[in-house]
Structure 1
Amino acid sequence: MTDGNDTNDDGLRFTRRSLLAGLGTVGVASVGAGLGTTALFSDEELFEDNELRAGALNMRVTVDNVAHSTPIVRDNTTITPSDTADGQEVTISVADLKPGDWLILEWNPEVIANPGYVRITSVDEDYSNVEGGTPESESETASPGDLGDAILSTVWQSWDNLNSSRQYLGGLDATTDLNDSGLSGYETPDMDGVTGGGAHYTTLNEAHSVYESGVLLRDASTGEPLVIGANSDAAWFYQLLELPREVGNEIQGDEVTFTLRFDAEQVRNNPTPFDGA
């Protein structure tokens, strides 16, 4: 410090002498505050029971057979009316399908506690397509079976639940359309899965080949990963399984089994979900 005037950052000017005098005055005042009393000033501020807690993420998935070609298809399906996987497995079994039969499964994944992204995988090691019995009318006996190449499996964004017809399905998902046609509403396919509007529905075998590597649920309008839960929109989608009327006797007794696994990851701090980082 110099003997001249010093300037601080606020522009106020002090000399060395006036600064020392000011400090002395403070000292006198502090002594005077304690005269004539034996009390001691004290103060205490507490920040008690501080806690750090990890967040939580929970998913449950409900499936329901919401529409079907005949009551027999409904009666032969194990989920009646619906079932929920929440920490345990759920098995969907449809028995005694015949040419012309169809059913719609409504899937509703929910993410609880924190918003999340959801991915669906058809588990490869659990997928099987086996030949059934050998009735006299069936000429083929070799494995694999024919049902996986005969039954069509498509995914739709919406369904008018005021009407039990598959005609009210809307928004064919590109993952189950080999032509990526952008078909807005259901059209009856031929035996090969081709419709008048140019869509080409996937068979169950073809759908499995797409979903076995995992498919992320995305927003239909933006294409961005869909945020589910924590005040975000819930997610529903519809899977149509249909067996064209033209299918022959080669499918008799055949059986297809598959496992769909739903995985959830948190949205926060996760710009690229399911990238393995």
Structure 2
Amino acid sequence: MDGGSIPSVGIPLLGTQIMTDDNTPIGLSRRHILGGIGAIGVASAGAGLGTTAFFSDTESFENNTITAGELDLKMDYRMTYRGGRGRLAEIQNNYPNATFVDEDMEPTDEDTGVYLLDQVPSLDRYPTADGWVRGANSIFNPETGEGEGFRREDLVDAGDLDEALIRLDDVKPGDYGEVTFSTHLYDNPGYMWISGALTANDQNGYNDPEMAALDELGLPTDDPAGEGQLADAIQAKVWYDDNCDNIHQADGSGEDSGGVDVMLSIDTSGSMGSGSGSKMEDAKAAALNFVDNLGPNDRIGLVTFDSSGSLVQGLTLDHSLVADDLQPGSAGITAGGRTMMDAGVDLAANELTANDRGVDQVIILLGDGQPNESARPGNDDVQNAIDAAADAKNAGITVFTIGLDVSSGSTAQNTLITMASTDNGTTLYYDTPTGADLDAIYAQISSVILTGEAVIAEGSLRDVLTELSAGIPLDANLDDENRVCFTNSVTRCFGFEWELPFEVGNEVQSDSVAFAVGFAAEQCRHNDGETNPFAVADD
């Protein structure tokens, strides 16, 4: 391809609104649900007997207040670009902090041709892919100041950005870019939507190579100020990036696949509790839903760990055998004892390696605390659990870990983070403060290893933005037949990628596009999620 540049491919990041090319709001402003309501006082009363108060009593309910809640949608993002070698200095004109990254998305001094353009929170604070993912997926406790999670003040609204998010010049066939958006709901759960708009698709005149290419394709060459070909040439995709790794996991375990082998390893120590509403019952219910979504060629097994480890059910295609062990109450597994986490890993790994059939092997380990017993020799229970996970990973097993009600920044959380596998810079650790979020977390893991991450829109850039323009409802748990609210305690990632294919020729020279992608949230309580805020905004 000969010469040409493509200026200002722009996405204003929208935690708050969609902007047109003249910065006029199109969509819904980010909602603070309800305003302040102030205070209400309650009167007190005294009681006497006859005219002489030998006995008296005063009951006073004072300082009563009612304060409205809030809903605040905040964003972080990470943006990469595969634009060819030797362009770092050029790209840094638009992105002063841009850096080369290696295949694991870690910054490197080598000229890889792949650039980490920008991320929020900043590159200085989270310089590595692993650090950024931990920040996105972990929880920061503002009361104690502990935890690896992003702080609320680290995150952005659309209005925080001084420039368009994507602003690339001299894009050539073969170039590729990706943005991983992470959404954070504060104060309340919410329904969420995604939207978009193509705001410009300009021809920007013709040069000789472009004229020749357009003539060859039978396309008109008499409208230099009209629409260009770039919006139709660029291929784009938006998807649920359930492991936040910047890559769309499209392979599932359908009827025609070889399947996957999964060992569930569940903490049954005494701290998991018992009875309705306990962590034990929540863990069983969420794991049972995961089992229900397995494909016919997937094998599943179950290990528990407390004061010892137990292989409850070996790998089997008969999913009902594991489902029986996940029934409520005493009909299924129960809690009691200490936490021998290394046995929970070793038993699961041994079952997988002893029955290897050449498919992907996965351990999903759920724990609610720090290891305090070991099956392995030595007295360092934490290190033994970490070593067991390392051995499993070295054997080619992917280890997912889930922290249920573990304190941010605690040894328990750090142990589970260290035990988890990493993929493209992503640590496969999922954090939840309550058992109510486990269904959505298991659904995320399911989409990575079983069904494939769901695509929201795919096609040419024009097609994708046209589909998004009406506003598409997002779902926190695609495995549930009903639409599920997004919790305000678990971060969710969404991927947006674009590519100018190699086969595109001179017909796009000097063309440019501008577009917007936005998110909106509405509180779940007192709403049914049926009213599309982007559709309302357009009426």
Q: CA deviation at 1:42?
A: 1.6
Q: Distance in 2 between matches of 1:40 and 1:209?
A: 80
| Cα distance change on mapping 1:161 and 1:208 into 2, 3 Å | closer
Q: Does 1:75 align with 2:91?
A: yes
The alignment status of 1:244 with 2:316, answered yes or no, reads no
Which of 222, 228, 231 is the matching residue for 1:145? 228
Letter in 2 for 1:46: S
What secondary structure does 1:54 align onto?
coil
Deviations for 1:13-47, whole angstroms, at most 9, x for unmatched residues?
xxxxxxxxxxxxxxxxx99xx9xxx8732211111
- Structure 1 residues 226 and 85 mapped into 2: Cα distance closer, same or farther (>3 Å)? farther
Residues 1:213 and 2:470 are matched in the alignment: yes
Describe how 1:52-63 pairs up with structure 2 within 5 A: 52-63=66-77
Specify whether residues 46 and 87 from structure 1 end up closer, same or farther in structure 2 by C-alpha distance, changes over 3 A only. Answer: farther
Counterpart of 2:68, as a letter, is A
> Corresponding residue for 2:488?
230
Look up the match of 1:266. 523
Deviations 1:164-206 (A, max 9, x none): xx8x52149xxxxxxxxxx948xxxxxxxxxxxxxx9500100
Q: Distance in 1 between matches of 2:470 and 2:497?
A: 21
Partner of 1:156 in structure 2?
A: 239
How many Å separate the matches in 2 of 1:226 and 1:67?
Answer: 33
* Alignment correspondent of 1:24: none
1:108 alignment counterpart:
182
Q: Is the 8 A contact 2:231 2:462 kept in 1?
A: yes
User: 1:183-194 alignment to 2 at 5 Å?
Assistant: 184=452
| CA 141–132 in structure 1, closer or farther in 2 if over 3 Å, else same | farther
1:96 is matched with 170
Long gaps (5+) in structure 1: 1-29, 173-182, 186-199
Query: Partner amino acid for 1:169?
Result: H
- Residue 151 of structure 1 aligns with an amino acid whose one-letter code is I
Letter in 1 for 2:233: A
CA change 1:87–1:256 in 2 (3 A) is closer
> Are the structure 2 counterparts of residues 50 and 39 from structure 1 closer, same or farther at C-alpha, using a change threshold of 3 Å?
closer
For residues 83 and 244 of structure 2, what CA distance do their matches in structure 1 show? 15
| Count of aligned residue pairs for this structure pair | 213
Query: Corresponding residue for 2:136?
Result: none
**Structure 2 contact 180–494 (Cα < 8 Å) conserved:** yes
Shift of residue 133, structure 1, vs aligned partner: 4.0
Q: TM-score, normalised on structure 2?
A: 0.35
Distance in 2 of aligned mates of 1:40 and 1:161:
72
Q: What secondary structure, in the 3-state scheme, does the structure 1 residue paired with 2:232 have?
A: helix
Q: Which amino acid aligns with 1:70?
A: G
Write the letter of the residue equivalent to 1:270. N
Q: Secondary structure at the match of 1:208?
A: helix
CA offset at residue 211 of structure 1?
0.5
Q: Tell me the secondary structure at the aligned position of residue 181 of structure 2.
A: strand
> Unpaired runs of 5+ in structure 2?
1-48, 99-116, 121-154, 212-220, 252-450
Using the aligned pairs only, state the percent identity.
26
Q: Give the drift of 1:135.
A: 2.3
SS at match of 1:170: coil
State yes or no: 1:118 paired with 2:155.
no
Secondary structure at the aligned position of 1:138 is classed as helix
Q: CA RMSD in A?
A: 3.4
Distance in 2, Cα, partners of 1:102 & 1:159: 21
Residue by residue, what CA displacement relative to the aligned partner does 1:135-184 show, whole Å, maximum 9, x if unpaired? 2211146320110000011123338777xxx8x52149xxxxxxxxxx94
Task: Report the Cα distance in structure 2 between the residues aligned to 1:68 and 1:221, rounded to whole angstroms.
Answer: 33
One-letter amino acid matched to 2:170: D
- Give the alignment's TM-score, normalised by structure 1: 0.65
Q: Secondary structure at the match of 2:501?
A: coil
Which of 70-79 and 206-215 deviates more?
70-79
